[in-house]
Amino acid sequence: MVRHLVFAVPGDIATPTGGYAYDRRMIAELTQLGWQIDLIDLGEGFPWPDQATRASARMRLLATPTGHSIVVDGLALGVLPEAAAEVAGRNPLTALVHHPLALEMGLSPGQAEALRASERAALAVVQRVIVTSAATARLIASDYGIPSERITVATPGSDPAPPVQGSRDGTVRLLSVGAVVPRKGYDILVAALATLTELSWRLTIAGDRTRDLRAVALVDAEIARHGLGDRIAALGAVSAKRLAALYAEADVFVLASHFEGYGMAYAEAVAHGLPVIGTTSGAIPETVPPDAGLLVPAGNVSAFANALRQVVGDDGLRDRMAGASRAAAMGLPTWRQSAEVFARALETPT
């Protein structure tokens, strides 16, 4: 029997973020499992779409044949509670929540509260919620009032990755991967690195620089203010081939995220066998094994600087952490395994 599924995303699914990468890969894997999937673009501007985009998104969702299952990426669904209520009355509706919208950085208190109320209303009407980590599942249950039996955790999968080669020239190569937006904490990372100028290191940032121009300007200004322009390279979004080369050359993965619903870049670093320096926020402690990473409170420049100093300055510590990371990589789920969990959730009666 052919299983039909509509997968609705806000904007271009090729957008280079972890959330869109998850969506792309899940669609590909579900197709391999025999699902017939129709992709719907709900429009641009989420989570702050204009009225025309809201109306268009509603019509596109309601155009789905009655009875066909629909999965809507939470970046859009969370601000479409009225449309969600209409759709859920005629189609099995699943919310895919990468992380709660109200936990994005850079929001005013009013914006955060508006997003929290809107997403809570949208999630209240769906048949099921799929999240990417146990940490996010707990948040959705406790803060959004969704019964745990309606929540499924389908963590991102990982592809086998060759072990990194490292720099081998006495300079510790640090790698950060993620869009330059406030939530990724690049300002914290730059401020911490500014206290380590006596050590030999170089940082490469690979991540989209078009999503938040204010955040990009702030990070660039901080790099210039600390005189680190010759030690930090902000490349913007890079190809998969270039990213693989950056991982191969790296010695340590670093990212000072204020929150991660899962943290695909952290898992990718573990898959490559890299030591990790990150934060304790969100799902990061679930993603990074204790012996493979040093995790500190988010937003704490001095704590992040101390972790950097320990790892950059100690070859033996880096080797031990890399060994733990390589061992943990063996236990990461494959994308096929993640898709099977996703599919079972869609097939389970509610």
Region 28-40 average pLDDT: 96
Q: In terms of residue numbers, what domain contains 23? A: 3-157+333-347
Write the CB contacts of 40 (distance below 8 Å, at least 6 apart in sequence): 6, 7, 8, 9, 60, 61, 64
Instruction: Tell me if residue 97 falls in helix, strand or coil.
Output: strand
pLDDT of the residue at 165: 84
Residue 52 lies in a domain: yes
Longest dimension (CA), the chain: 64
* Whether residue 247 sits in one domain with residue 198: yes
Number of domains comprising the chain: 2
* Whether residue 67 sits in one domain with residue 10: yes
pLDDT score of 153 more than 80? yes
pLDDT score of 2 more than 70? no
Residue 56 lies in a domain: yes
* Whether residue 253 sits in one domain with residue 232: yes
* Whether residue 324 sits in one domain with residue 186: yes
Q: Quickly count: other Cβ atoms within 10 Å of residue 228's Cβ.
A: 16
Residue 323 lies in a domain: yes
Region 186-210 average pLDDT: 97
pLDDT of the residue at 1: 61
pLDDT of the residue at 106: 86
Burial class (CB in 10 A: 0-12, 13-18, 19+), 290: exposed
Residue 141 lies in a domain: yes
Q: Is the peptide bond before 100 cis (omega within 30 degrees of 0)?
A: no
**Distance from C-alpha of 75 to C-alpha of 158, rounded to nearest angstrom:** 23
Residue 245 lies in a domain: yes
**Distance from C-alpha of 66 to C-alpha of 191, rounded to nearest angstrom:** 53
Region 144-154 average pLDDT: 96
* Whether residue 193 sits in one domain with residue 81: no
Residue 10 lies in a domain: yes
* Whether residue 251 sits in one domain with residue 206: yes
* Whether residue 181 sits in one domain with residue 287: yes
* Whether residue 195 sits in one domain with residue 68: no
* Whether residue 198 sits in one domain with residue 129: no
Amino acid at 304: F
pLDDT score of 164 more than 90? no
* Whether residue 191 sits in one domain with residue 76: no
Domain of residue 99, CATH code: 3.40.50.2000
Residue 164 lies in a domain: no
pLDDT tens column, 118-148: 999 999 999 999 999 999 999 999 999 999 9
**Tokens of residue 293, six digits:** 């990473």
Give the H/E segment covering residue 242: helix 240-249
* Whether residue 180 sits in one domain with residue 44: no
Residue 165 lies in a domain: no
Q: Quickly count: other Cβ atoms within 10 Å of residue 14's Cβ.
A: 8
User: By the 8 A CB rule, do 70 and 92 touch?
Assistant: yes
pLDDT of the residue at 16: 87
**Global pTM?**
0.91
User: By the 8 A CB rule, do 216 and 235 touch?
Assistant: no
* Whether residue 111 sits in one domain with residue 92: yes
